[in-house]
Amino acid sequence: MSNREKVLWCTAAGLLVFLFLLSSTDLIIKEKKREVYPISVIVEDTNDEYYANFKKGMDKAAEKYQADVNFITLYQADNEEEQMEMMQREIKDGARAVVLAPVNESGSIMRIDEISPNCPVILLGSTRVNDSVAASISVNGYETGRELAEQAVKEESLDNPVWIFTEGLSYTGNTDLYDGVRSVLDEMGFSYRLVERKNEDTYRQAIEETVYPDARQAAIIAMDAKSLDEASDIIGGSTVYAEHVTGLYGIGCNTAILRKMDRGLIKGIMAVNDYDEGYLCIRTAVEAIQGMWLREQMFMESYYITGEDLRERRYEKLLYPME
């Protein structure tokens, strides 16, 4: 074999190796890596029953902004301690941003300040921002409470008291809602009573009081979706209760609540576009990761919807969003 042939053979072998490196590895041509943003969303509940539409919006934004979203529920509902542990765990595990629906707004903000997370935190349902909180997304609780109460008093008689059901005033946003509701009831001269849920019989006992020992009538305003869901189940389970509860109104929705509204068990609800809220959370989180330190309060609009409105086109997208 001549020297020329040897050179040719070696060149051919070298070319093969070069082509292999070029096509199968990133040693020569570096492939541009798409940055994926790990974001953790930590809610206050044990499942996503009241977050179905929120998650749809969240998933859509995750697709658009290349976010890898980890949706985390708690072992025990409304456990503030556990929620903070989850948050610390997620930050430790590399979350670049955390969206938190705090159990207790004040307590959580204090803890976040203590932790001083090295990533942006976006609060859901809260109105506060500070050095540790990049942004907050919520409804205007006071105005929402007022609007709901205004709609309810239009339908109800002054002779009947209004019972206000809540999971607890200490939970995020509930005090503002309560202040809004009672401001209207005070103005209109309605008598009212706050019923805070202590155990699984709290609402049943309150509703039972309309029947026994004295038969009377009352209207109910439930200040959160869980309370509304539970109250409607109790009322729907007995025709007697339905005669004594003149109207059930509430805040928040999911498919079960909408079905009950369609059946006439619930007269009206204040609803937020949960899909948009979920989308906004992820978009805000990505913007915060990209360096836009927002410190911004964002308010979602809320709408009063009755059973008759359910099939109206303007509310269809809000209540039954497509993915």
Partner 1 sequence: MKGKWFGGGAALVFVAAAVLLFTGIGSGSAKEEKKNSMRIGVLLYRGDDTFIGTLRLSLEERAKEYEKETGIKVTLDVMDAKGSQNTQNNQVERLIGLECDALCVNMVDRSAASGVIDKAMAADIPIVFFNREPVEEDMNRWEKLYYVGADAKESAVLQGQILVDAYKKNPESLDRNGDKTVRYVLLEGESSHQDSLIRTEWSIQTLKDGGVPLEKLTGGIANWERSQASALMDQWLKEYGEQIELVICNNDDMALGAIDAIERNGYLIQTIKVVGIDGTPVGQEALKAGKLFGTVESDRIQYAGAIFDLAAGLSMGEKTDAPKYYWSSQKPLTNGRELLEN
Ramachandran angles phi, psi of 15, nearest 5°: -65, -40
For 244, the token pair is 């004594």
Applying CB under 8 A, among 15, 19, 20, 113 the residue interacting with partner 1 is: 20
Cβ at position 254, least distance to partner 1 in Å: 13
Give the dihedral of Cα atoms 199, 202, 203, 204; nearest 10 deg: 110
13 or 29: CB nearest partner 1: 13
Q: Is residue 311 near partner 1 by the rule CB under 8 A?
A: no
Q: Residue holding tokens 């009206």?
A: 268
Cβ pair 80, 108 in contact under 8 A: yes
Q: Is residue 323 near partner 1 by the rule CB under 8 A?
A: yes
Q: Is residue 64 near partner 1 by the rule CB under 8 A?
A: no
Q: Is residue 47 near partner 1 by the rule CB under 8 A?
A: yes
Q: Is residue 13 near partner 1 by the rule CB under 8 A?
A: yes
Contact letters (x/-) for partner 1, 89-108, by CB under 8 A?
x---x---------------
Cβ pair 175, 205 in contact under 8 A: no
Ramachandran angles phi, psi of 152, nearest 5°: -65, -45
Ramachandran angles phi, psi of 212, nearest 5°: -140, 140
Applying CB under 8 A, among 4, 27, 31, 199 the residue interacting with partner 1 is: 27
Helix, strand, or coil (residue 190)? coil
Give the dihedral of Cα atoms 61, 64, 69, 73; nearest 10 deg: 20
User: Judging by DSSP bridges, how do beta strands 37-42 and 135-139 pair with one another?
Assistant: unpaired
Q: Which helix (H) or strand (E) holds 70?
A: strand 67-72
Applying CB under 8 A, among 21, 110, 158, 194 the residue interacting with partner 1 is: 21
| Contact region with partner 1 (CB under 8 A), list: 8-16, 100-108, 217-225, 296-304 | 8-16
Applying CB under 8 A, among 29, 68, 113, 193 the residue interacting with partner 1 is: 68
Applying CB under 8 A, among 7, 8, 15, 17 the residue interacting with partner 1 is: 17
Q: Is residue 262 near partner 1 by the rule CB under 8 A?
A: no
Helix, strand, or coil (residue 296)? strand
Q: Is residue 215 near partner 1 by the rule CB under 8 A?
A: no
| Contact region with partner 1 (CB under 8 A), list: 12-20, 193-201, 205-213, 300-308 | 12-20
For 288, the token pair is 């915060």
- Tell me the number of residues near partner 1 by CB under 8 A: 19
CA distance 266 to 259: 9
Q: Is residue 259 near partner 1 by the rule CB under 8 A?
A: no
User: Which parts of this chain interact with partner 1 (CB under 8 A)?
Assistant: 1, 6, 9-10, 13, 17, 20-21, 24-25, 27, 47, 68, 70, 73, 75, 89, 93, 323
